[in-house]
Amino acid sequence: MKVLDLHCHAGHVFEGWFASEDDFQSQNQRGLVQCPFCGDSGISKRLSAPRLNLGAKPPAPQAPAKPAMTTPTGSQDSVALPPALQAAWLELARKIAANTEDVGNRFADEARRMHHGETEERAIRGQATPDEAAQLLDEGIAVLPLPLPVAAKETLH
Protein backbone atom coordinates (compact mmCIF):
# COMPACT_ATOMS: atom_id res chain seq x y z
CA MET A 1 0.00 0.00 0.00
CA LYS A 2 1.38 3.40 -0.97
CA VAL A 3 0.34 6.47 0.99
CA LEU A 4 0.90 9.58 -1.11
CA ASP A 5 0.83 13.24 -0.16
CA LEU A 6 -1.35 14.90 -2.80
CA HIS A 7 -2.49 18.43 -3.57
CA CYS A 8 -4.93 20.15 -5.89
CA HIS A 9 -4.67 23.39 -7.87
CA ALA A 10 -6.32 25.29 -4.99
CA GLY A 11 -3.51 24.25 -2.64
CA HIS A 12 -5.47 21.76 -0.52
CA VAL A 13 -3.20 19.01 0.80
CA PHE A 14 -4.46 15.50 1.54
CA GLU A 15 -3.40 11.84 1.63
CA GLY A 16 -4.28 9.19 -0.91
CA TRP A 17 -3.84 5.43 -0.43
CA PHE A 18 -3.14 3.34 -3.51
CA ALA A 19 -2.11 -0.24 -4.22
CA SER A 20 0.85 0.98 -6.27
CA GLU A 21 2.29 3.96 -8.14
CA ASP A 22 0.72 2.59 -11.33
CA ASP A 23 -2.66 2.43 -9.57
CA PHE A 24 -2.38 6.11 -8.60
CA GLN A 25 -1.29 7.14 -12.12
CA SER A 26 -4.10 5.14 -13.73
CA GLN A 27 -6.80 6.56 -11.44
CA ASN A 28 -5.42 10.09 -11.76
CA GLN A 29 -5.35 9.95 -15.58
CA ARG A 30 -8.99 8.81 -15.61
CA GLY A 31 -9.99 11.73 -13.35
CA LEU A 32 -10.94 9.43 -10.47
CA VAL A 33 -8.70 11.15 -7.91
CA GLN A 34 -10.36 14.30 -6.61
CA CYS A 35 -9.65 16.80 -3.87
CA PRO A 36 -11.90 15.93 -0.91
CA PHE A 37 -12.31 19.65 -0.14
CA CYS A 38 -13.12 21.26 -3.50
CA GLY A 39 -13.61 18.35 -5.90
CA ASP A 40 -10.76 19.45 -8.20
CA SER A 41 -9.44 16.55 -10.28
CA GLY A 42 -6.18 18.32 -11.16
CA ILE A 43 -4.20 16.36 -8.57
CA SER A 44 -0.42 16.24 -8.22
CA LYS A 45 1.86 14.36 -5.87
CA ARG A 46 3.88 16.31 -3.36
CA LEU A 47 7.39 15.37 -2.47
CA SER A 48 7.35 13.10 0.53
CA ALA A 49 9.71 10.74 2.23
CA PRO A 50 8.94 7.62 4.20
CA ARG A 51 9.40 7.94 7.93
CA LEU A 52 11.59 5.22 9.29
CA ASN A 53 11.64 4.78 13.05
CA LEU A 54 15.16 3.61 13.73
CA GLY A 55 15.35 4.73 17.34
CA ALA A 56 16.65 8.20 16.52
CA LYS A 57 15.40 11.22 18.40
CA PRO A 58 12.34 12.78 16.76
CA PRO A 59 13.08 15.92 14.76
CA ALA A 60 12.60 19.24 16.53
CA PRO A 61 9.19 20.77 15.85
CA GLN A 62 9.19 23.36 13.11
CA ALA A 63 7.18 26.53 12.96
CA PRO A 64 4.15 26.11 10.71
CA ALA A 65 4.76 27.25 7.16
CA LYS A 66 2.85 30.23 5.86
CA PRO A 67 -0.22 29.00 3.92
CA ALA A 68 0.10 28.95 0.16
CA MET A 69 -1.56 31.83 -1.64
CA THR A 70 -3.01 30.19 -4.73
CA THR A 71 -6.32 29.59 -6.44
CA PRO A 72 -7.33 26.97 -9.02
CA THR A 73 -6.18 29.36 -11.75
CA GLY A 74 -2.87 29.97 -10.01
CA SER A 75 -3.62 33.58 -9.10
CA GLN A 76 -2.54 34.96 -5.74
CA ASP A 77 -5.83 35.92 -4.09
CA SER A 78 -6.92 33.15 -1.71
CA VAL A 79 -5.24 31.31 1.14
CA ALA A 80 -5.04 27.52 1.25
CA LEU A 81 -6.59 26.22 4.45
CA PRO A 82 -4.38 24.67 7.14
CA PRO A 83 -4.85 20.86 7.45
CA ALA A 84 -6.85 21.10 10.70
CA LEU A 85 -9.28 23.57 9.13
CA GLN A 86 -9.53 21.40 5.99
CA ALA A 87 -10.44 18.41 8.17
CA ALA A 88 -13.04 20.43 10.09
CA TRP A 89 -14.57 21.68 6.83
CA LEU A 90 -14.77 18.15 5.41
CA GLU A 91 -16.39 16.89 8.63
CA LEU A 92 -18.98 19.68 8.49
CA ALA A 93 -19.65 19.02 4.80
CA ARG A 94 -20.20 15.32 5.55
CA LYS A 95 -22.67 16.17 8.33
CA ILE A 96 -24.58 18.49 5.99
CA ALA A 97 -24.69 15.82 3.28
CA ALA A 98 -25.81 13.16 5.77
CA ASN A 99 -28.63 15.31 7.19
CA THR A 100 -30.08 16.78 4.00
CA GLU A 101 -31.93 15.39 1.01
CA ASP A 102 -30.20 15.88 -2.35
CA VAL A 103 -32.86 17.14 -4.77
CA GLY A 104 -30.32 17.82 -7.53
CA ASN A 105 -31.24 20.40 -10.14
CA ARG A 106 -34.82 20.56 -8.79
CA PHE A 107 -33.55 22.64 -5.85
CA ALA A 108 -35.24 25.95 -6.80
CA ASP A 109 -38.60 24.28 -7.52
CA GLU A 110 -38.49 22.20 -4.33
CA ALA A 111 -37.54 25.24 -2.20
CA ARG A 112 -40.50 27.17 -3.66
CA ARG A 113 -42.89 24.26 -3.02
CA MET A 114 -41.80 24.13 0.64
CA HIS A 115 -42.02 27.92 0.98
CA HIS A 116 -45.61 27.93 -0.35
CA GLY A 117 -46.66 24.97 1.84
CA GLU A 118 -47.17 22.60 -1.10
CA THR A 119 -44.84 20.02 0.46
CA GLU A 120 -43.48 19.41 3.94
CA GLU A 121 -40.48 21.45 5.03
CA ARG A 122 -37.24 19.53 5.26
CA ALA A 123 -33.52 20.14 4.89
CA ILE A 124 -32.59 19.96 1.21
CA ARG A 125 -29.53 20.55 -0.92
CA GLY A 126 -29.03 20.63 -4.64
CA GLN A 127 -27.94 22.78 -7.54
CA ALA A 128 -29.32 26.14 -8.63
CA THR A 129 -28.01 28.63 -11.12
CA PRO A 130 -26.97 32.06 -9.82
CA ASP A 131 -30.15 33.49 -11.41
CA GLU A 132 -32.35 30.88 -9.69
CA ALA A 133 -30.70 31.60 -6.34
CA ALA A 134 -31.21 35.36 -6.80
CA GLN A 135 -34.89 34.79 -7.67
CA LEU A 136 -35.37 32.65 -4.57
CA LEU A 137 -33.84 35.39 -2.40
CA ASP A 138 -36.08 38.01 -4.08
CA GLU A 139 -39.08 35.84 -3.19
CA GLY A 140 -38.01 35.75 0.47
CA ILE A 141 -36.75 32.17 0.34
CA ALA A 142 -33.49 31.79 2.25
CA VAL A 143 -30.76 29.95 0.37
CA LEU A 144 -27.09 29.52 1.12
CA PRO A 145 -24.59 28.73 -1.61
CA LEU A 146 -22.41 26.02 -0.13
CA PRO A 147 -20.13 24.05 -2.42
CA LEU A 148 -19.98 20.52 -1.03
CA PRO A 149 -17.06 18.44 -2.23
CA VAL A 150 -17.89 15.09 -3.79
CA ALA A 151 -15.91 13.40 -1.02
CA ALA A 152 -18.38 14.72 1.56
CA LYS A 153 -21.22 12.87 -0.12
CA GLU A 154 -19.67 9.42 -0.15
CA THR A 155 -17.64 7.13 2.06
CA LEU A 156 -13.89 7.36 1.55
CA HIS A 157 -12.13 4.07 0.81
Q: What are the pLDDT tens digits along the chain (157 aa)?
A: 788 889 898 888 888 888 888 888 999 999 889 888 888 889 998 876 555 445 556 555 555 444 433 334 443 344 566 778 877 878 888 888 889 999 999 999 999 999 999 999 999 999 888 899 899 999 999 888 887 766 565 554 4
Q: Please check whether residue 8 is in contact with residue 70, taking contact to mean a CB–CB distance below 8 angstroms.
A: no
Domain range for 99 is 81-152
Instruction: Name the residue among 69, 80, 98 with its Cα closest to residue 38.
Output: 80
pTM: 0.51
Is residue 70 one of the residues assigned to a domain? Answer: no
Report yes or no: 31 and 43 within 8 Å, Cβ to Cβ. no
CA 66 to chain centre: 21
* Tally of domains within the chain: 2
Whether the Cβ atoms of residue 1 and residue 19 lie closer than 8 Å to each other? yes
Whether 94 and 148 share a structural domain: yes
The count of C-alpha atoms lying within 13 angstroms of the C-alpha of 45, restricted to the half-sphere facing its C-beta, is 15
In a domain, 69, yes or no: no
